Structure 1
Amino acid sequence: MNDARRSRRGKARSSVLDGLLSLALTLTLLLSLALATILSRPVSAHEEYVVDEEHDVSALEFLVDGLTDPVVVGPLALGALVVTLAMVAYLRVNPVPNDVAAFRTAMREYTEFVPWLLRISFGIPLVGAGFAGYFISPSVAVDARLLQVALGFLLLFGLATRLVALVTLAAYLVGLVVWPTLLLQFEFVGGLLAIALVGSGRPSADHVLQRVAGGPGTEYGRIDRVHDVAQVFQSRIDPYVVYAPTIARVGLGLTFITLGVGQKLLRPGIALAVVDRYDLTSVVPVPAELWVFGAGFTEAALGLALVVGLFTRASAAVAIAMFSLTLFALPDDPVLAHVSLFGMASLLLITGAGPYAVDNRLQAVESKLEDAVTSTAG
C-alpha cells in the first residue's frame, strides 16, 4: 500500500516537474522573441572596448607579411619551443609532486563555493551592464536595464537560479544572432550552462527557502510545492553535475580562441590600433606586428589548451594573470566585462579539468609511474 502511494506521489511530482519545465521553456521562448524585437532596432556601438577606429589593413596581407618576416617568426617560434620544452620537462621530471598534490587538495576544499562563485561572476556583470547602458558586452550599446538588472540580482540572490540561468542564456543567444560581436563574451554560454547544472548552492535564497519548506510543520512548506519538485529535478540531473567543469573550460577556451584569432589575427587593424593607443612598442621594443601576433597566438594556444583540458589549472592561472595584466595595462578596458572570465578561470582552479580532458590521461600516467617506482623501491 505504501509502495503504491509512493509510486503515485512520484508520478504526480514527475507530472508537475514536466509542467514546470514546459512552462520554463515557454517563458524562455517568449522572452527570446520579445528580446529579439527590442534588439532588432538599429543602434550605434563601438566595435571594440577601447578604440573607435582601426588601421586599414587586410587580414590576409597582415598574415602573409608577418609570417614571412624573420623578425616576427623567430621570436614566435622560440617562444613556442620554450613552452613546449617546459611542459615536456615538467612531465618527465615532475619536480614538486607533493606541492602539486597539496595544491589540488586545497583547491578541492572550495568546491562547495563553486555555485556561489559562478552566480556572482555573472550576476555582477549583468547588473553592471544594465546600469551602464549596454547589453552584456560593452560593444553592444543597447539599453536593456530592467531585463539585465532583474536577471543579475536574481543570480546574486540565488533565487530560481537554474531557470534564471537558462533565461539569461536564451537572451544572450538571441543577442548573438543580432550582434555577432557578442562572441567576445562567449564565456556566458559555458558559465550559464554550468550554473544550470550546479544550481544555486549556498548561500542562496533557494537554499534557505528549500530548508524552510522542508522544515517539520512549517506553514510555508504547506503552500510551496516548487521546492519538492526542485528536489526531484535535482535528483535527475545529479549524474550530469560532474560535467560542469568541462562545460566551463570549453566555454572559456572558445572565448580565448575567439579573442586571439577573431579579434587579433583576423582583425589586425583593431589590434594595431590598441598597440598605437597605449604605445606598447615602447614598453617592449618590438614591432607592432609582433605584439599582435604574440597576443593572438598566445590567446589561441591558451584557449586550445583549455578546450582539450591540458594543464587546466596552470592554464587557468595564466588566464587570470593575463586578465590582471590587461586591466592594469589598458586603463580604459571595462573591468565588468572581465568579471565573468575571472570567475570561470577561478572555477577551473578549484575543480580542475573535469571529464574528457587530457589532464586525466596525464594523471593516470603519473599514477602508474609512481606505482612502478614504489614497487621497484619495495
Structure 2
Amino acid sequence: MAPLLVAVVASRPVAAHVDYVTEGGGSGPSVADFLVTVLSDPLNLALLAAGSAGVTVATFGWLRYGDHLMDVTVTRRTLRSYQPYLGWLLRLAVGLPLMGAGFGGYFFSPVVSVEARLVQVTLAFLLLFGLGTRLAALAGILTYLSGLATHFPTLLLSSEYLAGFFGILVVGPGQPSADLLLRRLMLTDGTIMSRFRDVTTVSDLLSRLGIEKSAAPLLIRVFLGLNFAYLGVTEKWLDPGRALQVVEKYDLTAVAPISPEMWVFGAGLGELAVGLLILSGTFTRSAAGAGFLILTTTLFGLPDDPVLAHVTLFGLTSALLITGSGPFALDRTVVPALRARVGRTPVDAGGESTPTAD
C-alpha cells in the first residue's frame, strides 16, 4: 500500500550495514567520481526519471484512492488495535539484540568490539522481563551515549537503539510484563505491595513534564528516520568503494542488470527517501512498510549479514506500522490537504470521516 514501494526495488540487498559484510581498506572511486559515473550515464538517468515518475503516479493514486479502500481501513484499524502490545514489541526489539551484543562481545554494533557483557546483558534481561522497564531504558540511553562519545561516528551505525530506548521510556512496559503485575498488586487493596502505592514512578515524572505515551511515535520517527538517512548517505554515497564491494561480493548485477554504481546509488537513494519520509512523518506507515521490505530483502539477499543486528530496525518499523505518525507530522497537515485537492474526504468503515493519511 506504500506509494514509495516502487523505489524500494532499486535498493534491495545492497541496502545493509555495509561495514558488517565487507572488510575495511581497499581502493575505490572518490565521491565525486562516483557521482559523475552515475549521473553521466544516460541509462541511469532514464532509470531515475522512470522511478521518479512511477513514485509520483503511485503517490497520486494513493492520495486519490487509498483511503477509499475497505482493505486499507480494516488494516489500519487492526494495526491500531495492537497498541496494548507496543511496549512488549519495543522491549523485544531492543532486548534481544542487546542480549546478543552482550554475549557476542561487541558494544551495540558488531563493528565496535568493546567488552560490556554485564551491562548489556543486565539491561537486556530487565527489558525482556519488563522489570524496572523505564529505568532500564534510561540506563540504556546513557550507556549508548557514553559509548558514542568514545566511538564516534562508528557507533552511529546502531543509532536505532536510541529510538528503541526512548520509545520504551515513554510507552512503558506494556503487557505482558513484570512491571504491570507489580502495578496491579500496588493498586489492589490488602496486598503487601499496596503499601508502596504512593511511591513516585518514572511514569509520574514524565506526566508532570507533559510527556505522554502519544509522544512515542515522534521519538521513534526522529531517531529511526535519521538512522535510515545516515546509512543511505554515509555508507553508500560517501563510501562508494565499500558499497561496491557488496555489489561484487554478492553478484548483484546478476539480480538486476544495471551498473554496480547505479546499484549503490539506488540503495542510498532508497534508504535516504525512507529516512526522510519517516523523519518528517509523511506517509509514515507506508514508509515504515518500505523500510521493513528493505530489511527483509537484505535478510534473504545477504546470507552472512548479522541478522541480530537488524532486529531493532525490524521492531521499530513494525512499531510505526502500529502507531502511525504521531504528533508533529506532515501526515496531519500537508498530506490531508493534498488529499483534499485530489479527491473527496475518505470515509471510514463505520461511516465517520477519517483524516489520517499515514
TM-score (norm 1): 0.81
Name the counterpart of 2:21: 50
Please tell me the residue identity of whatever aligns with 1:342. F
Correspondence for 2:344: 369
Tell which has more relative contact order, 1 or 2 (C-alpha 8 A, sep 6+). Answer: 2
What does residue 195 of structure 1 align with? 168
What is the rounded CA distance, in whole Å, between the counterparts of 1:111 and 1:285 in structure 2? 43
> What residue number does 1:31 align with?
none
**CA root-mean-square deviation:** 2.3
Verify: 1:182 aligned to 2:155, yes or no: yes
Give CA-to-partner distance per residue, 1:219-256, whole Å, 9 cap, x none: 2333x468554563364356532111111122111111
Matching residue within 264, 271, 284 for 1:312: 284
Amino acid at match of 1:172: Y
Q: Give 1:55 deviation, angstroms.
A: 3.9
Which residue is equivalent to 2:12?
A: none
**Structure 1 residues 176, 230: CA separation in 2 closer, same or farther (over 3 Å shift)?**
closer
Alignment map for 1:123-202 (pairs within 5 Å): 123-179=95-151, 180-202=153-175
CA distance in 2, matches of 1:255, 1:246: 14
> Separation in 1 of the partners of 2:197 and 2:345?
52
Q: CA deviation at 1:345?
A: 0.5
- Amino acid corresponding to residue 282 of structure 1 in structure 2: A
Per the alignment, residue 347 of structure 1 pairs with 319
In structure 2, relative to structure 1, the CA distance for the partners of 1:226 and 1:147 (3 Å cut) is farther
Distance 1:291 1:116, change over 3 A: same
Cα distance in 1 for partners of 2:97, 2:198 equals 28
**Greater share of residues in helix:** 1
Give 1:63's aligned amino acid. Answer: L
> For the structure 1 residues 81 and 231, does the alpha-carbon distance in structure 2 shift closer, same or farther, using more than 3 Å as the test?
closer
Say whether the 8 Å CA contact 1:198–1:241 is kept in structure 2.
Answer: yes
Give 1:185 shift. Answer: 1.3
CA distance in 2 between partners of 1:282 and 1:300 (Å): 24
SS at match of 2:33: helix
Contact 2:67 2:73 in 1 (8 A): no
SS in 2 for 1:209: helix
Which deviates the most, 68-77 or 310-319?
Answer: 68-77
AA aligned opposite 2:268: G
Q: Tell me which residue corresponds to 2:185.
A: 212
1:285 and 2:260 aligned = no
Residues 339/347 of structure 1: CA separation in 2 closer, same or farther (3 Å cut):
same
- Superposed CA deviations along residues 254-312 of structure 1, whole A, max 9, x for unmatched, are 11101110110011011001111111111212110010011010110111111111111
Aligned equivalents of 1:283, 1:126: Cα separation in 2: 33
State how 1:1-378 maps to structure 2 within 5 Å.
48-53=19-24, 54-94=26-66, 96-179=68-151, 180-222=153-195, 224=196, 227-230=199-202, 232-233=204-205, 235-236=207-208, 239-361=211-333, 362-363=335-336, 366=339, 369-370=344-345
How many residue pairs are counted as aligned between the two chains?
327
> In structure 1, how many angstroms separate the alpha carbons of the residues matched to 2:328 and 2:201?
31
Find the residue that maps to 1:203 and give its secondary structure.
coil
**What is the CA–CA distance in structure 2 between the aligned matches of 1:312 and 1:136, rounded to whole Å?**
26
User: Is the 1:210–1:227 Cα contact (8 Å) retained in structure 2?
Assistant: no
Equivalent residue letter for 1:370: T
Q: Does the CA-based 8 Å contact 1:213-1:227 persist in structure 2? A: no
The separation in 2 between residues aligned to 1:251 and 1:200, in whole angstroms, is 20
Counterpart code for 2:208: R
Q: Structure 1: state its 5+ residue gaps.
A: 1-45
CA distance 1:371–1:72, shift in 2 (3 Å)? closer
Q: TM-score, normalised by structure 2?
A: 0.85
1:77-108 per-position Cα deviation (integer Å, ceiling 9, x unaligned): 22122112210122134474322221111111
Pick closer, same or farther for the CA change 1:239–1:165 going to 2, 3 Å.
closer
Residue 152 of structure 1 aligns with an amino acid whose one-letter code is A
What do residues 112-168 of structure 1 show as CA deviations (whole Å, max 9, x unaligned)? 111111011000010000111111011111121111000111111111111111111
Aligned to 2:11: none
User: 1:159-191: CA deviations, max 9, x gaps?
Assistant: 111111111111111212222111111111222
Contact 2:134 2:168 in 1 (8 A): yes
Is the radius of gyration larger for structure 1 or structure 2?
A: 1
> How much identity, in percent, do the aligned residues show?
47
Please state how far the C-alpha of 1:349 moved relative to its aligned partner: 0.6
**In structure 2, C-alpha distance between the alignment counterparts of 1:269 and 1:98, rounded to whole Å:** 47
Give the conservation status (yes or no) of the 8 Å contact 1:243–1:355.
Answer: yes
SS in 1 for 2:236: helix
Q: Residue 113 of structure 2: SS of its match in structure 1?
A: coil
